[in-house]
Structure 1
Amino acid sequence: MTRMIFSINQCSSIELRLLKALRALNWEGNWPAQAGFFLEEIGLSSAQTFVFADLVSVIIKADPNFYLLGPMSAYVSRDELNLLAALGIASRKFSNTSDQSDPQIAPVLKSLVDSCGTALSKARIAMKTRSPLQAGRTVPGAASQVIPFQDDRTMRTVRVVSVHKPTPQVRRIVLGGHSLKTFETDLPAQWVKIFLPDGTAQPIGRAFTIHNFDTINKELTFDIALHEGGPMSEWALTAKPGDELQLAGPRGGFKGATPRSWLLMAADETGLPAIAAIVRQLPADLEVHVFAEVADETERQFLEIQPKVRVRWIYRNGSATQEPETLSEVLRYSPLPTTGGDAWIAAEASVIRSIRTQLLRDRGFELGKVHAAGYWKRGEQDHRDLAAG
């Protein structure tokens, strides 16, 4: 098949950054995990980035031949230019009553393009004015039955089997029930969304990493890091065996480290269940450096580790022998291997952004080898991050 590509100079600086994110969403390795950061860099919120993930998913399902180049390509394809044109029209339409969108776009895809255009407009991102190429399509002719990619919403009713208290500020919940007989996990650190039954059409739901799934007894364990005012925290304080919940998933997960490399892992309390699940399944000969931030020594948890796993506990409130420290500060001055490795990081969104920049700029990590997910965001409820999968 003949491919038509053009100079990257065809694109404005904003288009280049948007295009890089759109390409990353369809790329291999850890590139999809970077897309959320690329989109946020041009002013989009974490919630808006999921609209663009849906768009790319639908386009690729509708037309596998749609030509998205590699994230660092010095060229731009005809398909990509036409997609940028469609997004530009959609973003301008948000503040214009006239509908200029292409009538040939299938309804589902048109809705997604319009949603992306609205997100760009609300973020005050000015797209370059351009017309679709005469020899090309604006976007692929998706069949009307194609729907946007969504989380697995197959709801399972489960019940609390037991409640444990590994630390003062963590509740470990074990779930069971007939619906888990068909539940499967294929990667460590996958997550599920837990919903509190409150009798409303949209029950309160939050994402939690699977600490462990017992394949024999079909019981799923997850941790809740308690914090004031959170609905799940309030529920966990009084949770008891027999309580019913619903869950959807699993999603995401750790896909493994590069062979013959080394792995950096860093997290606060919210990421510790993922680290616990990952280190249990790592190769015994892999060099691993774990940095875990908790409030104080009482919040330190047991980790089942391999001989070559080194763990550094960081206490943000300090201890009898340590001054108060933070994850970002400790990583900045800690000695690490100088050869390129892989990194897996999960914590508060702004902390993750700082550490990610530090690793790429000062530590020499390759962009595609840094998996950094904001598991929560200060001041925001039910934060979602594309990098979490």
Structure 2
Amino acid sequence: MKKRQYYTLEVLRTERVSPNLQRLVLTGDDLMAFPAAPPGSYIKLLFNQYGEPQTSLPQEDQKILMRTYTVRHLDPQARTLTVDFMLHGDGVEAGPASHWAQTAKVGDVIVVAGPGSSKGLAEQRDWVILLGDMTALPAISAQLEAMPKDTRGYVIINIVDAADQQSLTAPEGVEISWLTQPTSSGLAKSLHDVQWLEGTPAVWAACEFSSMRAIRSTLDVEFNVPRSQVYVTSYWREGRSEDQHKIDKRKDVESYNAAVAG
């Protein structure tokens, strides 16, 4: 197993991008050794057992909480790493990462691990569909910025508040739609609201667990999109911690694969 790499960073800037999205720009000399991060790569933020940011390299017997976030932007020359946080409420009940994102000050220190790479859009494709809630905004934004200029397709993003809408850089042939709803339950239905283009689509989706399952079912049953052309995942689950969500996610994948194989 590859040894996990740790980086000790500090907060350089904080910005409330929108009512429900907080941005932190992290910096530190450790970023000089940070590997190139392809679009959609992620890091893990480390917190101690009390939910406080881990400020030194963890000991082998130390209980550590890890929270996963997409790298929004990496600038090796400037030694900056940008992370966007969807805010899940206020106070410690929001979870250690969301709470820290809202309260972090310039100069605050945290240890991060990574980067890890996430699966992107299928390369063999004629057009694309990307769907997600606000937790997927950084990954969707990064993928859009890296797309060939002649890419065609659709992006559908669920936001909590109309003011959460952002200006995204995308190819001219990619149409971006915003759903303003308190939950992402409408994402699956939105697949019926776009005009499916000729040729083979590549579909990428990331959102809350229940919405993910609805999207996956819709693609399977109603649109019959080949599995090789689809990547659908959940970034979180309502009412569950990240550790609990990981267990749920693993069981769901096993159950889904067994059903497909059977």
Q: TM-score range by the shorter chain?
A: 0.7 to 0.9
CA gap of 1:317–1:360, structure 2 versus 1, over 3 A, is same
Q: Indicate whether 1:251 and 2:111 are aligned.
A: no
Structure (1 or 2) with the greater strand fraction: 2
Distance 1:173 1:307 in 2: 29
* Matched residues, number: 233
In the alignment, which residue of structure 2 is the partner of 1:224? 85
Q: Which sections of structure 2, spanning at least 5 residues, go unmatched? A: 48-52, 254-262
> In 1, Cα distance between the equivalents of 2:137 and 2:125?
25
* Equivalent position to 1:191, from 42, 55, 75: 42
Corresponding residue number in structure 2 for 1:339: 199
2:153 aligns to what? 288
C-alpha contact (below 8 Å) 1:291/1:314 kept by paired residues: yes
SS at match of 2:123: coil
3-state DSSP class of the match of 2:64?
coil
CA apart distance, 1:280: 0.4
Matches of 1:227 and 1:297, distance apart in 2: 17
Q: 1:381 aligns with which of 241, 245, 253?
A: 241
Q: Does 1:161 align with 2:12?
A: yes
Relative to the length of structure 2, the TM-score reads 0.82
State the match for 2:99 in structure 1. 234
Secondary structure at the counterpart of residue 191 of structure 2: helix
Q: What do the CA deviations read for 1:283-341 (whole angstroms, capped 9, x no partner)?
A: 011113100001121111221112111101001159xxxxx982122223432225321
- Aligned match of 2:70: 209
Note if contact 1:315-1:326 (Cα within 8 Å) is conserved in structure 2: no
Residues in 2 aligned to 1:198 and 1:158: alpha-carbon distance in whole angstroms: 10
Distance in 2, Cα, partners of 1:160 & 1:173: 7
More helix by share: 1
1:330 aligns with 2:190: yes
- The within-5 A match list for 1:85-234 is 149=1, 153-196=4-47, 197-198=53-54, 201-228=62-89, 229=93, 230-234=95-99
Amino acid at match of 1:153: R
Q: Where do 1:258-297 residues align within 5 Å?
A: 258-259=123-124, 261-297=126-162
Does the 8 Å contact 1:188/1:254 carry over to 2? no
**Relative contact order, higher structure (CA 8 A, sep 6+):** 2
- Aligned counterparts of 1:325 and 1:245: Cα–Cα separation in 2: 34
TM-score (norm 1): 0.56
Preserved CA contact (<8 Å) 1:260 1:286: no
Instruction: Check 1:260–1:328 CA distance in 2 against 1; reply closer, same or farther (3 A cut).
Output: closer
> Greater Rg, structure 1 or structure 2?
1
Question: 1:27 matched to which residue of 2?
Answer: none
1:216-262 C-alpha deviation (Å, 9 max, x unpaired): 21211011111122221211221111000011111123445434511
| Cα deviation 1:157-211 (Å, max 9, x = unaligned) | 1111100111011110111101110112342001010113358822332000011
- Alignment partner, residue 138 of structure 1: none
Structure 1 residues without counterparts, runs of 5 or longer = 1-148, 319-323
- Cα distance between partner residues in 2 of 1:188 and 1:221: 13
**Cα 1:316–1:291 shift into 2, 3 Å:** same
Write the distance in 2 (CA, Å) between the matches of 1:316 and 1:173.
25
* 1:303 aligned to which of 146, 168, 183: 168
Contact 1:340 1:364 (8 Å CA) reproduced: no
**Alpha-carbon distance between aligned partners in 2 of 1:254 and 1:198, rounded to the nearest angstrom:** 28
The alignment-based identity, stated in percent, is 29
Cα distance in 2 for residues equivalent to 1:239 and 1:359: 40
Q: 1:327 to 1:260 in 2, by over 3 A?
A: closer
**What is the alpha-carbon distance in structure 2 between the residues aligned to residue 377 and residue 297 of structure 1?**
23
Distance 1:255 1:363 in 2: 20
Q: What does residue range 349-368 of structure 1 map to in structure 2 within 5 Å? A: 349-368=209-228
Measured after TM superposition, the shift of residue 214 of structure 1 is 1.1
Which residue does 1:370 correspond to in 2?
230
Is the CA contact (8 Å cut-off) linking 1:340 and 1:366 kept in structure 2? no
